[in-house]
């Protein structure tokens, strides 16, 4: 951009304030479960992490009972009985499908949508200034509820961080009708003063502790802190957050999903594993899942790593010491071939496996990913057909897509051993399986 053009743009006196909305599904997993079991409408609900380990979602009733996010299930057993809390294993097939319905609904309100996570989207409302954004948000909210049955909250601000803040506030206070537009409030400073520093997007435990020590306790104080000082004492990320609170956009909307940089597949086991054989099966399974994901995105991996670990919560460090290790290797040429990647993974496992430990968790990571279309061959290796041209991988993916994940698999994955995770309270896949549809009498 030439200097003249820059001058011209920056001198436009009444530049339109940007408007970004953050739409967030309320207690998303709990809301999904409730949708198909309306008899639970006033009962507390919690949804568990993989392996039924800890609580990752709570309905408002469960929150009101003081059930904390991330609490291990066994610690709240009494409360669950006492208050008849409904408990579900996580059902990602169901949540993923309902998420897509919500996002599709939102896309009818503006074409510029960044799906930020399974239950959140940023919407660019530029060009909607002639609307009353408060009302527009309320219509959005009503429509999503009517079309999908999922309640959402909406926050609007001139940057992503302010939109996040608005969303946080809209949930806290019922007077906003689930929609809060910070662009329209009279005293933004007072509003930001009411937001605790740890509730600002991008400020986690560590940083909020350090900020408190520096005397910065609220969003307003972070907004007014010296940018260079923040950059020096923390890093540019925090400096950007401060700028965003000032209304200076530093984090752009990303409508196009960038290519993945890594794909991880890992799990805690249903039972502890000591032998190498079930570990081999589990890792083969993890590689299969990751490789399928890789092919779905038309990527190939150049780097693979394997990790295994015992429980960090072991009671006796002498008989049951904590052990974790990982090993990785660089492939001579990028691959998306499940069989080839399994071979590498199992070789890496040999290098780090130590007998005598009770392993709790293992996983693999594929990284250094490049699009298949841009692959570079190995000058000295025989030409191997991969991905799109590989009929075996194609057939594998096609069959598994039609008949269900895991229908066709590598023998090294075995047939379901102890390593498989516990999911004792999973609801049906109401919206994606014919044989699990809800029945109306």
- Which residues of the shown chain bind DNA in the complex (CB under 7 A)? 49-51, 53-54, 56, 70, 72-74, 116-120, 164, 201-208, 231, 235-237, 258, 260-268, 272, 293, 311, 313, 330, 360-361, 363, 421
Output 109 or 419, the one with its CB closest to DNA: 419
**Least gap, CB of 74 to DNA (angstroms):** 3
**Least gap, CB of 205 to DNA (angstroms):** 5
**Least gap, CB of 366 to DNA (angstroms):** 8
Helix, strand, coil shares of the chain as percentages rounded to 5? Answer: 45, 20, 35
Output 16 or 262, the one with its CB closest to DNA: 262
**Least gap, CB of 352 to DNA (angstroms):** 13
Output 264 or 331, the one with its CB closest to DNA: 264
Output 76 or 125, the one with its CB closest to DNA: 76
Phi and psi based region of residue 266 (left: phi greater than 0; alpha: psi -120 to 50; beta: remaining): beta
> Measured between alpha carbons, how far is 139 from 21 in angstroms, rounded to an integer?
13
Phi, psi (degrees; rounded to nearest 5) at 126: -60, 135
> Measured between alpha carbons, how far is 382 from 149 in angstroms, rounded to an integer?
55
Pairing of strands 113-117, 120-124: antiparallel
Contact 163, 156 (CB under 8 A): yes
Report which DSSP code applies to 92: H
Output 171 or 176, the one with its CB closest to DNA: 171
Output 419 or 430, the one with its CB closest to DNA: 419
Output 129 or 271, the one with its CB closest to DNA: 271
* 3 state DSSP class of 305: strand
Rounded to a whole number of angstroms, the distance between the first and last alpha carbons of the chain is 66
**Least gap, CB of 256 to DNA (angstroms):** 12
**Least gap, CB of 347 to DNA (angstroms):** 17
The pair of three-digit structure tokens given for residue 11, joined into one six-digit string: 């001198």
Measured torsion, CA atoms of residues 99, 101, 103, 109, in degrees rounded to the nearest 10: -160
* 3 state DSSP class of 162: helix
**Least gap, CB of 125 to DNA (angstroms):** 19
């Amino acid at each position: 951009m030439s200097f003249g053009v820059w001058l011209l743009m920056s001198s436009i006196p009444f530049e339109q304030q940007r408007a970004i909305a953050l739409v967030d599904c309320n207690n998303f997993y709990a809301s999904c479960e409730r949708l198909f079991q309306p008899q639970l409408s006033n009962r507390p609900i919690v949804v568990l992490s993989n392996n039924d380990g800890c609580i990752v979602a709570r309905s408002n009733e469960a929150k009101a009972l003081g059930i904390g996010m991330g609490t291990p299930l066994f610690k709240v057993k009494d409360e669950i009985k006492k208050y008849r809390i409904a408990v579900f294993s996580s059902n990602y097939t169901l949540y993923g499908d309902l998420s897509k319905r919500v996002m599709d609904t939102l896309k009818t309100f503006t074409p510029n949508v960044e799906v930020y996570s399974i239950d959140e989207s940023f919407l660019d409302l530029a060009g909607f200034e002639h609307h009353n954004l408060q009302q527009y948000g309320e219509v959005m909210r009503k429509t999503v509820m009517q079309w999908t049955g999922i309640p959402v909250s909406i926050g609007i601000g001139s940057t992503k961080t302010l939109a996040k803040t608005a969303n946080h506030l809209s949930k806290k206070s019922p007077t906003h009708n689930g929609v809060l537009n910070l662009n329209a409030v009279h005293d933004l400073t007072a509003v930001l003063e009411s937001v605790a520093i740890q509730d600002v997007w991008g400020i986690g435990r560590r940083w909020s502790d350090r900020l408190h020590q520096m005397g910065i306790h609220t969003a307003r104080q972070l907004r007014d802190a010296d940018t260079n000082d923040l950059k020096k004492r923390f890093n540019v990320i925090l400096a950007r957050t401060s700028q965003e609170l000032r209304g200076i956009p530093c984090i752009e909307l990303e409508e196009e999903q960038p290519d993945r940089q890594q794909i991880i597949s890992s799990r805690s086991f249903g039972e502890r594993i000591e032998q190498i054989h079930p570990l081999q099966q589990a890792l083969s399974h993890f590689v299969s899942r990751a490789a399928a994901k890789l092919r779905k995105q038309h990527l190939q991996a150049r780097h693979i790593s394997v990790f295994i670990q015992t429980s960090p919560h072991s009671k006796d460090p002498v008989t049951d010491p904590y052990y974790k290790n990982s090993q990785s290797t660089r492939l001579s040429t990028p691959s998306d071939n499940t069989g080839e990647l399994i071979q590498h993974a199992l070789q890496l496992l040999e290098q780090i496996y130590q007998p005598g430990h009770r392993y709790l968790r293992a996983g693999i990571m594929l990284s250094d990913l490049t699009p298949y279309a841009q692959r570079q061959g190995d000058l000295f290796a025989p030409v191997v057909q991969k991905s799109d041209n590989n009929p075996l991988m194609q057939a594998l993916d096609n069959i598994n897509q039609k008949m269900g994940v895991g229908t066709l698999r590598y023998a090294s994955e075995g047939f379901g051993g102890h390593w498989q995770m516990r999911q004792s309270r999973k609801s049906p896949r109401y919206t994606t399986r014919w044989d699990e549809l809800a029945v109306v009498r």
